[in-house]
């Protein structure tokens, strides 16, 4: 926060409908040393785009509106210098940023006069360009169809059912006529369901390389780990679809990530326009922690509980991989088993019983750093011992030794003596 110049931030994590973490840092009012809490109001910016899409989805569910309904049917005054856009532009087009609308922000009262004279950047549905205009038009369409102000419809659809009494689009202390979104940590942690239509990919995002990134209706859709991780240690991670949304204007930034597979959500709100979008970085750091814990939980799920460790002595010995050039010693040390690679004292690691004839040699991050070890996939830390037909230990399988499994056969060596302590 100090590096980015962020005055205050509040973050929250939900998992399977439950709040599992909430934290607040810094000052909501630095001059008065007031700290943020669950009820602190933050600007949320474009996070409201998902809310607009949800409000439309509610009307679609109640057969009041359709995704493919044309704007000119909802807003008769709507037009465009581009005839196709004027005639065929739909609610789904403006919500997915494929209408070609431009970027500026204006007063609500000037919405239609300005929108009607804007020349689209591309033909309808032929490109993608982020635009706030489309969402302003969608909000106007909601108001026209329901006969109620947009904020009133949003409160009826989302805020009231979720108990979001302090979230608003019209702060009382603002004197101008611009739209704003404000929310609190407590209220944004409330879980709510979205329609499948909203999260479906509606437009490909133009990037320098071909990717699977898409834009739904108010949400960006992607996959983790991303393309840059293919040749990294993350390449074995199970891909997950992720939905994200950032919001920023002068004075604040916000970010939210949703992971449908694990039913998890992360968000961060700040009261500062930082030098490096600190809210986004905070959410990504938490995302990394969640994905790491998910991997460890998966690994732990393979553990068979209540399998007692047998006598340690039969596991000891020297095990060779193919030739005499590569071997691992399994010795008794301080009452437990220890492995030594190539007989080296600086490559000795204690073995911990996992289940049955399987042992692990997991070490902490600090220990790996101290010993300058490269971080390996979790299966690299697992030895599975196997017995022959008469029940004697005759080999172990190293689950991952840099290129796949390796079978190490136990055999005596005239120069080898088991040591113990």
Between CA 301 and CA 295 the distance in angstroms is 10
The mean pLDDT of 44-60, rounded to a whole number, is 86
The mean pLDDT of 263-289, rounded to a whole number, is 82
What is residue 263's predicted lDDT score, i.e. its pLDDT?
85
pLDDT in tens, 75-89: 998 888 888 888 888
Residue 61 in this model has a pLDDT that exceeds 80: yes
Between CA 191 and CA 263 the distance in angstroms is 10
pTM score, two decimals?
A: 0.60
The mean pLDDT of 103-128, rounded to a whole number, is 70
Which letter does DSSP use for residue 265 in this model?
A: E
Angle, helix 48-61 to helix 133-146, in steps of 10 degrees: 40
Between CA 390 and CA 85 the distance in angstroms is 80
Residue 56 in this model has a pLDDT that exceeds 50: yes
pLDDT in tens, 279-326: 788 888 888 777 766 555 555 555 566 555 678 899 999 999 877 788
Length of the chain: 421
What is residue 231's predicted lDDT score, i.e. its pLDDT?
47
Lowest model confidence (mean pLDDT) among 60-69, 318-327, 380-389? 318-327
Exposure b/e, 44-56, CB count within 10 A at least 16 = b: bbbbbbbbbbbbb
pLDDT in tens, 197-232: 666 555 554 544 344 567 777 788 877 766 544 445
Q: How confident is the model at residue 181 (pLDDT cuts 50, 70, 90)?
A: low
Between CA 398 and CA 193 the distance in angstroms is 45
What is residue 396's predicted lDDT score, i.e. its pLDDT?
94
Return the percentage of the chain with pLDDT > 90, whole number: 14
What is residue 304's predicted lDDT score, i.e. its pLDDT?
62
The mean pLDDT of 94-121, rounded to a whole number, is 70
- pLDDT greater at residue 190 or residue 11: 11
Half-sphere exposure of 396 (CA within 13 A, CB side): 27
3-state secondary structure of 147: coil
Domains present along the chain, CATH in parentheses? 1-44+181-301 (3.40.710.10), 48-153 (no CATH), 313-410 (2.40.128.50)
What is residue 201's predicted lDDT score, i.e. its pLDDT?
53
Q: How confident is the model at residue 388 (pLDDT cuts 50, 70, 90)?
A: very high
What is residue 211's predicted lDDT score, i.e. its pLDDT?
46
Q: How confident is the model at residue 330 (pLDDT cuts 50, 70, 90)?
A: very high
Lowest model confidence (mean pLDDT) among 64-78, 85-99, 270-284? 270-284
What is residue 408's predicted lDDT score, i.e. its pLDDT?
93
Between CA 361 and CA 328 the distance in angstroms is 13
Say if CB 14 and CB 158 are below 8 A apart: no
What is residue 193's predicted lDDT score, i.e. its pLDDT?
35
């Amino acid at each position: 926060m100090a590096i980015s110049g962020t005055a205050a931030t509040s973050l929250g994590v939900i998992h399977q409908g439950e709040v599992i973490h909430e934290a607040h840092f810094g000052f909501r009012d630095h001059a008065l040393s007031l700290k943020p809490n669950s009820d602190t109001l933050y600007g949320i910016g474009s996070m409201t785009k998902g809310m607009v899409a949800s409000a439309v989805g509610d009307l679609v569910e109640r057969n009041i509106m359709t995704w493919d309904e044309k704007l000119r049917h909802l807003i008769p005054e709507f037009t465009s210098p581009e005839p196709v856009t004027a005639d065929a532009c739909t609610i789904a087009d403006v919500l997915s940023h494929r209408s070609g609308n431009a970027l500026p922000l204006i007063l609500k009262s000037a919405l239609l006069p300005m929108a009607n004279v804007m020349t689209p950047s591309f033909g309808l549905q032929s490109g993608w360009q982020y635009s706030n205009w489309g969402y302003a038009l969608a909000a106007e369409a909601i108001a026209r169809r329901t006969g109620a102000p947009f904020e009133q419809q949003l409160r009826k659809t989302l805020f009231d059912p979720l108990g979001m009494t302090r979230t608003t689009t019209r702060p009382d202390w603002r004197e101008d006529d611009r739209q704003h979104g404000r929310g609190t940590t407590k209220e944004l942690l409330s879980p709510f369901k979205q329609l499948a239509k909203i999260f479906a990919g509606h437009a490909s995002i133009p990037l320098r390389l071909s990717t699977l990134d898409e834009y739904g209706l108010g949400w960006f859709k992607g996959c983790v780990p991303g393309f840059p991780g293919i040749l990294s240690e993350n390449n074995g991670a199970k891909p997950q679809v992720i939905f994200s949304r950032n919001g920023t204007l002068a004075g604040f930034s916000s970010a939210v990530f949703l992971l449908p597979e694990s039913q998890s959500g992360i968000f961060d709100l700040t009261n500062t326009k930082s030098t490096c979008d600190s809210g986004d970085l905070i959410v990504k750091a938490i995302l990394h922690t969640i994905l790491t814990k998910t991997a460890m939980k998966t690994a732990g799920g393979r553990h068979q509980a209540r399998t007692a460790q047998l006598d340690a002595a039969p596991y000891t010995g020297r095990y060779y991989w193919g030739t005499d050039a590569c071997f691992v010693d399994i010795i008794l040390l301080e009452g437990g088993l220890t492995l030594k690679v190539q007989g080296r004292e600086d490559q000795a690691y204690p073995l911990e019983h996992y289940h049955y004839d399987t042992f692990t040699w997991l070490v902490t991050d600090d220990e790996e750093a101290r010993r300058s070890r490269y971080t390996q996939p979790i299966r690299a830390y697992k030895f599975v011992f196997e017995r022959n037909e008469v029940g004697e230990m005759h080999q172990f399988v190293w689950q991952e030794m840099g290129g796949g499994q390796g079978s190490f056969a136990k055999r005596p060596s005239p120069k080898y003596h088991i040591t113990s302590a």
